A = this chain, B = another copy of it.
Amino acid sequence: MHEAEVEITIPFHDVDMMEVAWHGHYAKYFELARCAVLDSIDYNYLQMKESGYAWPVIDLRIRYPQPTVFGQTVIARAKISEWENRLKIDYEIRDKTSGKRLTRGHTVHVAVDIETREMRMESPAILFEKLGVTP
């Protein structure tokens, strides 16, 4: 299983007038966990670029069963759940102390050839290689 976790303490500048982290900032928390799992397979954003592909987000989903507050420490986990035609990553954020699940969601990415700007209908060989699977 390809997954990784990062620890995040909710900073003051992410918290809104309702005294909870503003919902849009979770895209950053997801990205921190995503970068960790991509680092773990040796295929981070810089390596993606070097491989000739960009992997833009084409779909983002976030569900917020529970809010988070200033100073709360959470664990954000990212898990690669699909890779054959597109790269799908699932996320879960839970409270570090209680383990209670606070947020979940996913992102979907597709390979875009940086030179031609064309979207790939199947994931390129480099992704399978990095994941250690056969296409």
Contact = CB atoms under 8 A, between A and B. Distances in A.
Contacts of A15: 16-17
Contacts of A128: none
Interface string A21-58: 01111011001100100000000111000000010111
A24 B24 contact: yes
Contacts of A62: 59-61
Contact of A28 (B11, B20, B32, B44): B11
Range class of the A interface residue count: 35 or more
A130 interface: no
Contact of A45 (B12, B20, B45, B61): B12
A104 to B, nearest CB: 11
A31 B44 CA distance: 28
A65 interface: yes
Contacts of A23: 27, 56-57, 60
Given A17-B17, A27-B27, 7 more contacts: A12-B17, A13-B16, A16-B17, A18-B56, A56-B64, A59-B63, A61-B61
10 contacts: A11-B28, A13-B22, A15-B16, A17-B17, A18-B54, A23-B60, A27-B27, A46-B71, A59-B62, A59-B63
